[in-house]
Structure 1
């Protein structure tokens, strides 16, 4: 159990991490490996780590690796499939697995069964047009060795074997198709985050402060940042100074970025999207499904609303969820305030937000319709993926908040973004992470990008380069362009994490890099 507030008060520190989620945990672990002498202070407004977006019940998707998420592979106007984003995300997830494997081998986090499990990832569609899309998607993705082993089928018997709940009771005349990737995983990012913070809390020079809210921050003449922090329980206030500040507070990042006053943050706004799940309460039903089955999102819906019938492992228990159902609220955090959205409106972001709002009226209408859904309508949506679903076997659960990024655009005034974005000051002394999907699954790659942007001189040093290659053996190389490197490292991470492994065919020319050799030795 992490202490609520360690006795040492961090009034003068090197690094301040705002928010105790997966991003801050990942960055904190990386920085302590790269610079063990750093003084790091972590401030979280809630009483525990990973209680917002990183929590298993709040996270809209676990183990994103682009195997089954159809929104990562849009169809171009000429009918071909765009795979670049899917390849990037798949490679990023492999990078995350390397870092987690390193932490386990170093004894920094607990055994893998606490946070990661093998689970097939499937895409499921119906109708002629969608079946053709999925067939072309499968053909396009399997050209890349990151997706080798992905199966495709339109055969009802085969699909019934893969996902009995989805096929039982379905109209046999309905044209359906699915892809299946055995290499998929379920990741409990809440458990992973708490493991990392427990380790950070044991490290010299790291202080963890829960129930503490950062209210103000400004840069002083010496380029250090002064933060004003309030104890939410006692009302006590304190000041902390740090050379580098990371704002990784999920939906709460935008207000703090705006308070920082850095020019790079001007014009950014946020559009909050809430979510709900249907959670299965019948153990007999839960045991019949062992997969993450993703479908196609409704026209105009945000990516976080891609429907999926999702097996998860939470607190050692197998769970089954369907959703998420989207909604709208003015809160930026699940435990936030209804004034979050109106208070985020500033002179420099009002125009981009209004412009983005006008351009996304179908999304607004979609969210309104989602909020107005009746229980029967939610069950009808579930029955598209589980035809024999009974209302009494499911209960409604509130999911987490997402704040989609709105940014200035010279052509349209403002655009709504559905990815993640790092906003950093010109001097590299402050960085904020905005956005949502794919988020947690690609946290390691996102933090690597942050290190390059905010610590460019340090990254070039031999000490940092050497350590980064220890933490991430593929660092500086492309897994998407090197099949043998992927084969070796995937075998290593699968062994360390206790996961299924798909053996890739060896290419004709062998790679002799240190990373490849390490992966081969581990396998």
Structure 2
């Protein structure tokens, strides 16, 4: 077995949406920097970013009820919803810049306009949704949101969901037409095609085995070439670990203090998919419900219109499950291997705290197809088993860490950047809202890891992302201008009828 060693400026580990976004930003800001990408699989966007491994929702807090919790005094906290919406606006601006600059083309291949809706049943839930609507609809970020508890109006909005519904329970929904369906797999592949044209070296079927600090502060990455069986060593001043569920084990290998006392909890998922054109034609929205009591936020049931390879289909789910693998293509030993002396107490504390979650996941794993159909029929009363198939979605590794608010072993449902104090290495951990906020997250990486360059880069960043550093909610005129211009560039202005 022979080995070779090379030096470069930047190494990106993983060919998903995060590495694609960071690489594209860096090529605009520092075109002379040499970038190398290492991906274990044969193509870009094959794990979490793949279109079948996520729900394809452009997360902007338009319909996700878990982003607007009810406080103890009965009021609705919309602070997280505002934050996530503003972050998605950054993504829209960056994608628009790429389209306007001809760096990527045909935005309809990765983004489509789809109404986003929240749907609830029961008196208490309807009261909550009405309060949520009042709190959000006064905010410029959520302009155009409608509320209805009139079954006749709901039949217009969601005929497939309302048909055959016999329950007398109160039912209500909100609807906003500025929602999106995003094919993150297609977008990831477009960005890597662009990076390749900019002489970025993309190495598929290359598995990163180790990351070690060198005496001059650089990082030496040990890479296994799966096809040739050879080991390679690549040294870089900056390394980004964007390997989805595979990021935590690689971060632990760096040995940086920031990697200590962090664990990961893998959650798997299934979706049900309908390709029957007659059924698909009756639904045109992403409709999010409320998570059941004891269920984690990522298991909120939703019925989604999806566009994949220009074909319209419906997805329902997700049904959560447990697998010790950190990636779909991972190993059953992944979870065990990440338990270290420095995080074992954190992991044990999480195990004790999250017994209800563990029980819920086991119940989900045990669900039969008929039980899944029963859950689907709560959304679509007339659903027929022969119209729906099962698709195995991606693995998500939720971060476990010690926090002031939650104490030892707190499960974090979100996306988190962990970086060395000197900014020479950074890793992305966690899950939702993930890909939707990729531009915000990668700007955070730039700010943490390249503070010495930010002043010179700022004019270019503002050219790409006009609202960078500005609160859109406090600048409604700028928000209106940006929302309209990005909608036009990305082809989001045209509304499709509720059903065709």
TM range (shorter): over 0.9
Secondary structure in 2 matching 1:470: helix
Q: Is 1:15–2:10 an aligned residue pair?
A: yes
Which residue of structure 2 aligns with residue 486 of structure 1?
Answer: 479
**Contact map agreement 2:56 2:184 (CA 8 A) in 1:** no
Which residue of structure 2 aligns with residue 453 of structure 1?
Answer: 448
Q: Is 1:57–2:52 an aligned residue pair?
A: yes
Which residue of structure 2 aligns with residue 468 of structure 1?
Answer: 461
Which residue of structure 2 aligns with residue 398 of structure 1?
Answer: 392
Q: Is 1:495–2:472 an aligned residue pair?
A: no
Query: Partners in 2 of 1:150 and 1:460 — Cα distance?
Result: 38
Matches within 5 A, 1:71-90: 71-90=66-85
Q: Is 1:155–2:173 an aligned residue pair?
A: no
Match of 1:444 among 439, 460, 472: 439
**Contact map agreement 2:56 2:306 (CA 8 A) in 1:** no
Secondary structure in 1 matching 2:32: coil
Which residue of structure 2 aligns with residue 294 of structure 1?
Answer: 288
Which residue of structure 1 aligns with residue 350 of structure 2?
Answer: 356
Q: Give the C-alpha shift of residue 357 in structure 1.
A: 1.2
Cα deviation code 1:37-80 (max 9, x no counterpart):
00000000000000000011101442111000001011111111
Secondary structure in 2 matching 1:56: coil
**Contact map agreement 1:402 1:435 (CA 8 A) in 2:** yes
Which residue of structure 2 aligns with residue 373 of structure 1?
Answer: 367
Query: Partners in 2 of 1:481 and 1:160 — Cα distance?
Result: 36
Query: Partners in 1 of 2:82 and 2:180 — Cα distance?
Result: 17
Gaps (5+ residues) in structure 2?
A: 496-500
**Contact map agreement 2:5 2:232 (CA 8 A) in 1:** no
Cα deviation code 1:472-520 (max 9, x no counterpart):
0111211111110000011110110010389xxxxxxxxxxxxxxxxxx
Which residue of structure 1 aligns with residue 498 of structure 2?
Answer: none
Cα deviation code 1:352-386 (max 9, x no counterpart):
01101111110000000000001111000001110
Which residue of structure 1 aligns with residue 183 of structure 2?
Answer: 188
Q: Is 1:242–2:236 an aligned residue pair?
A: yes
Q: Is 1:270–2:264 an aligned residue pair?
A: yes
**Contact map agreement 1:352 1:409 (CA 8 A) in 2:** no
Query: Partners in 2 of 1:318 and 1:10 — Cα distance?
Result: 47
Cα deviation code 1:63-120 (max 9, x no counterpart):
1110000010111111111101100111111110000000011111121111000000
Q: TM-score, structure 1 length as denominator? A: 0.92
Number of residues of Structure 1 aligned to a counterpart in Structure 2 = 491
Q: Is 1:37–2:65 an aligned residue pair?
A: no
Q: Give the C-alpha shift of residue 188 in structure 1.
A: 0.2
**Contact map agreement 1:189 1:440 (CA 8 A) in 2:** yes
Cα deviation code 1:239-275 (max 9, x no counterpart):
0000000000000000000011000110110000000
Secondary structure in 2 matching 1:329: coil
Gaps (5+ residues) in structure 1?
A: 1-8, 503-523
**Contact map agreement 1:183 1:501 (CA 8 A) in 2:** no
Q: Give the C-alpha shift of residue 397 in structure 1.
A: 1.0
Q: Give the C-alpha shift of residue 310 in structure 1.
A: 0.5
Query: Partners in 2 of 1:449 and 1:149 — Cα distance?
Result: 30
Q: Is 1:128–2:119 an aligned residue pair?
A: no
Q: Is 1:165–2:160 an aligned residue pair?
A: yes
Which residue of structure 2 aligns with residue 207 of structure 1?
Answer: 201
Query: Partners in 2 of 1:235 and 1:141 — Cα distance?
Result: 56
Query: Partners in 1 of 2:284 and 2:148 — Cα distance?
Result: 18
Which residue of structure 2 aligns with residue 69 of structure 1?
Answer: 64
Q: TM-score, structure 2 length as denominator? A: 0.97
Which residue of structure 2 aligns with residue 505 of structure 1?
Answer: none
Which residue of structure 2 aligns with residue 514 of structure 1?
Answer: none
**Contact map agreement 2:93 2:466 (CA 8 A) in 1:** yes
Matches within 5 A, 1:89-100: 89-100=84-95
Query: Partners in 2 of 1:28 and 1:199 — Cα distance?
Result: 10
Poorly superposed stretches of 4+, deviation over 6 Å: none
